[in-house]
Amino acid sequence: MIKFGTAGIPLSAKAQSTEAGIIRVKELGLEAMEVEFVHGVRMKEDKASQVQTVAERENIVLTCHAPYYINLNSAEQEKVTASKLRLIQTARIAKVLGATSIVFHPAFYSGKAKLEVLKKVIEELTSVREELAKEDNHIILRPETTGKPTQFGDLAETILISQEVPGVLPCIDFSHLHARANGAINTYDEFCVVLEQTAEGLAESWTENAHFHISGIEYGSKGEKKHLVLKEADLKYKDLIKALVNSGIKGTVICESPNLEEDAILLQNIYKHYSR
């Protein structure tokens, strides 16, 4: 089964706190929530422990999104070091939260060859994993497929990182793949190819524990522009959900549409329809 949830606190939550968000997710009949640390990890351990208690009580799966300011391929080593520290800080709080994984944007090409950047990202992520292992922190790191051709993180690269670094699995953002391809990757067959390629590359480690982002998206020749409500965009989300159902993959879908819970519920209802 796949569990559906929101990227952050639902808009209809009674308060803009993580605990209130979890409670609202439960009330809505959803089963997951991604805790957003996109502008920095500002949650303390005692707060994270309280959040974990609420999530466990409500039986809500938590994941985290690391800060946006990560570039493991920066020409400035201090920026690479800072990027790795942000990942480690997120992992530390995520462990206290009881979260299952961390999503992050790994790097920019910055004019370098794709294979050179891949090698650099693998090297730096291996270093992060080694540091986390010293702390007995085995949370899954999930490099996200990215929405612009200038960003490192197409599907093949994301699979390769996961093959090379233990404790790393993809976050497949179908909206980003669609935008990156300037409108392609938008049919049932194309969605199935993405799922099949990832399953072939990573086997049960991924098919039993997949993680996806879905939203409407506006894009152009340079890729992603902004997220949209599903019904205002051209992403064929019904075909996408049908592909997920027929694949038999287990995991989590996080909705990043501007209307958050509305589209998360929409996707969950389509999933239940095709699962009958």
User: Could you read off the pLDDT of 176-204 as tens digits, one per residue?
Assistant: 999 999 999 999 999 999 999 999 999 99
Share of the chain residues as helix, strand and coil, in percent rounded to the nearest 5: 45, 20, 35
Residues 6+ apart with CB under 8 A from 150: 108, 109, 222, 223
pLDDT at 28: 98
Q: With pLDDT > 90 as the criterion, what percentage of the chain qualifies?
A: 99
pLDDT at 164: 97
Query: Residue 92 phi/psi, 5° resolution?
Result: -65, -45
The DSSP call for residue 144 is B
pLDDT at 60: 98
pLDDT at 86: 97
CA distance to 232, 240, 247, per residue, from 243 (Å): 21, 5, 6
pLDDT at 44: 95
User: Could you read off the pLDDT of 89-132 as tens digits, one per residue?
Assistant: 999 999 999 999 999 999 999 999 999 999 999 999 999 999 99
Residue 269 CA to residue 32 CA, distance in Å, equals 15
pTM to 2 decimals? 0.97
What is the rounded average pLDDT of the residues 244-257?
98
Residues 6+ apart with CB under 8 A from 7: 34, 36, 65, 213, 254, 255, 256, 260
Query: Average per-residue pLDDT in the chain?
Result: 97
Q: Where are the alpha helices (DSSP H) in the chain?
A: 18-27, 45-58, 77-97, 114-134, 155-164, 174-180, 188-202, 204-207, 237-247, 261-275
Query: Residue 35 phi/psi, 5° resolution?
Result: -80, 120
Q: Which single residue is written with the structure tokens 């067959």?
A: 189
pLDDT at 233: 98
User: Is the distance from CB of 250 to CB of 2 less than 8 angstroms?
Assistant: yes
pLDDT band at 214 (very low <50, low <70, confident <90, very high): very high
CA distance to 5, 92, 100, 221, 266, per residue, from 29 (Å): 9, 29, 20, 38, 12
What is the rounded average pLDDT of the residues 40-51?
96
What is the rounded average pLDDT of the residues 210-229?
97
pLDDT at 141: 98
Q: With pLDDT > 70 as the criterion, what percentage of the chain qualifies?
A: 100
What is the rounded average pLDDT of the residues 160-177?
97
